[in-house]
Each structure stands twice: as structure tokens, then as C-alpha cells.
Amino acid sequence: MENYKREFIEFMVEVGVLTFGDFTTKSGRRTPYFVNTGRYRTGGQVARLGRFYADALQERMGGEEIDLLFGPAYKGIPLVVTTAIALAEGHGRDLAYAFNRKEAKDHGEGGMLVGHCPVDGERVVFIEDVTTAGTSIRETVPLLRAEADVRLAGLLVSVDRQERGRGERSALVEISEEFGMPCFAIVTLDEIVAHLSEHPVGGKILLDAGVLERIQAYRDEYGA
């Protein structure tokens, strides 16, 4: 596993974004772990988060042309901004970025998009938090295509939960096939389990036998 992946997993634990216990997801599934990107709450944390996104994007798409980074509102807004900054400062890639409004602006310049206005042929990469159903992507692709004939180049999320989406396949696989673009994550659930079951964080092993058993039971029921 790459060093930045290990560091990202421990970073999520340290700031309280990745927790273990008894939770209910938005889809109504009871889960023994939860990823809440709304827990990033300081400038330093968000700056570091952007560097993890940038590292993952460079690893997967470093040699490919990208014209625009797009962050679906609301959580995608700070994510796309910090990723764009990290790519410019750490990798020398000064890419345009944009995000959408939830409500159309009826004064000033108007419209649903903020930031770069896409043009025909531009390759767009979406920057998201955790995708379980792909709702935000399905909502925002039509907004972009209403502005220009863009090419969907990819989707990057922080964690791939590796569980079923609408059908039997994972949400990321469903989105990839529906929109014809690669979808990938900074880390997967497999990588989280592999790292935290062997390496302590704050002097404590977080995934003991009981937690691992609950995670496996959840995956047996909802895993893709």
C-alpha cells in the first residue's frame, strides 16, 4: 500500500472522520463504521485533505489530460477547491475548477455554476466525498452538459465502501458503467481494514476481533 494511503487512513481516524461503532447510513443501512467528511473543520485539516486527493489523482491520472475539476454541492465545494490548490502547489498542475449552486441565481451573472464555465470538449473530473448511491453525480452531470458538451474523465472519492449501490454492483462500478468514466477512491474499505487491523493509531488497535466480525457481517449483507 502506498504511503499516502496509510497516512490518509490514520489522518481520518485522528480527526474523527472515520469512526467505528453503530451507525445508520442515509440509505438506512446499519453499519459498524462511518465516514463523515463534514468533520474536517480546520484550515490545516482541509489543506492536508487536498494533498491526499491530489496524490491519488496524480497516481491514477497523472499522465492524462484534465481540463476541469468539479465539486458537487455542498460537500464537494471545499473538496474541489483544496484539491485544485494542492495540484497547483504540489504537482504543478494549475487546473480550472467549478461547483454548482443548489438553487439557480436569478440576479447578477445568474446560472447554476460557480467558477470556470465549461466549454465543448473539456475533460471533467468530479471530486466527491463518499458515494453510496451516486445521486449527486446524476444530478450534476445534466447541469454541466447544459452548459457545454463536456467529456466525463473520472470521479475521485475519499473512500470506496465497496458495497452495493442500486443493484448488485458497487456504487462506483454502477457510476462508471452508466457514465463511461473511471471511478476510484483514495482508499478502499479493504485497505482500511488491512491497515488498521495491524497498525495502532494513538497507541490503540482500532479493529479488534469484535469490530472485524461486525464489518464482515455488514459486508456479507451489503458488500458488492
- Residues belonging to the active site: 105, 107
SS3 call for 197: coil
Look up residue 182 and give its three cell numbers: 473511471
Alpha carbon distance 39, 17 (integer Å): 5
- Helices 171-179, 135-147: crossing angle, 10 deg rounding: 20
Q: Which residues contact 158 (CB under 8 A, 6 or more apart)?
A: 8, 12, 35, 37, 49, 52, 53, 128, 129, 130, 185, 186, 187
* DSSP character string of 43-92: HHHHHHHHHHHHHHHHHHHTTS---EEEE-TTTHHHHHHHHHHHHHHHHS
Contact 123, 65 (CB under 8 A): yes
Q: Residue 139: which H helix or E strand, with range?
A: helix 135-147
Look up residue 112 and give its three cell numbers: 447554476
Q: Residue 152: which H helix or E strand, with range?
A: strand 151-160
